[in-house]
Amino acid sequence: MFTVGRLARRFGLSRSTLLYYHSIGVLRPSARSEANYRVYTEADAARLEAICRYRKAGLALQEIRSLLDAPDDRTAAILERRLEALNDEIGQLREQQRVVVRLLRSRALRRETRSMDKAGWVAILRATGLGEEEMLRWHVEFERRAPEAHGDFLESLGIGADEVARIRSRSRAEIAVSRGE
């Protein structure tokens, strides 16, 4: 003999789940106590166990109800139908995965073409009228004012780590020189 809360805890469910199961008639308590409490018997618990098994298979509660209340010659057919439905659902999620991957790729592509690589930047700076010396000056200023951002920027151009390190150390050397060290 159980009350709702006890039965719920025994099966790792919430009380409101059992109240819902009662309301839709898939699991009705065998009796009521004097104080109008729901009283569940061992037979009710056994039924709940079956319900949980079928729920783990993803069957709808209405289906479970008709399955438990009807003779079980339909059970196998229902389970096989569920198997097919699961295949469909998994296929749909796989399709969604493909869509997500495509979206990620197209975004990466767009960013690649939208953002700049080394050649593009050099071209712009040169068009602005900067020579080799001014470009070095530009790196030095960038490194002096925002060294981390400078590093991030260089890496975002797709330059190798060693070249990034070379540019930055050369910039730092120039900074030291300008300080008279």
The amino acid that residue 130 corresponds to is: L
3 state SS of 147: helix
Counting contacts by CB under 8 A, is residue 99 touching its own copies? Answer: yes
> How many helices and strands (H and E) does the chain possess?
9, 2
Interaction mask 58-97, its own copies, x per CB under 8 A: x-------------x--xx--xx-xx--xx-xx--xxxxx
Contacting residue, 10, 30, 37, 112, with DNA by CB under 7 A: 37
> Residues with Cβ < 8 Å from 33, sequence gap 6 or more?
3, 39
Question: Quick one: residue 22, left, alpha or beta (phi over 0 = left, psi -120 to 50 = alpha)?
Answer: alpha
Counting contacts by CB under 7 A, is residue 153 touching DNA? Answer: no
Counting contacts by CB under 7 A, is residue 60 touching DNA? Answer: yes
Q: What does 74-128 look like in DSSP terms, one character per residue?
A: GHHHHHHHHHHHHHHHHHHHHHHHHHHHHHHHHHHHHHHHHS--HHHHHHHHHHT
Shortest distance in whole angstroms from residue 76 CB to its own copies:
6
Shortest distance in whole angstroms from residue 59 CB to its own copies:
9
In the Cβ-directed half-sphere of 98, how many Cα atoms lie within 13 Å?
A: 6
Report yes or no: 51 and 26 within 8 Å, Cβ to Cβ.
Answer: yes
Q: Considering CB distances under 5 to 8 angstroms, the limit depending on partner class, which of DNA, its own copies, none binds residue 179?
A: none
Contacting residue, 107, 118, 126, 166, with its own copies by CB under 8 A: 107
Counting contacts by CB under 8 A, is residue 57 touching its own copies? Answer: yes
Contact set with its own copies (CB under 8 A): 53-54, 56-58, 72, 75-76, 79-80, 82-83, 86-87, 89-90, 93-97, 99-101, 103-104, 107-108
Contact set with DNA (CB under 7 A): 3-6, 14-17, 19-21, 34-38, 55, 60-62
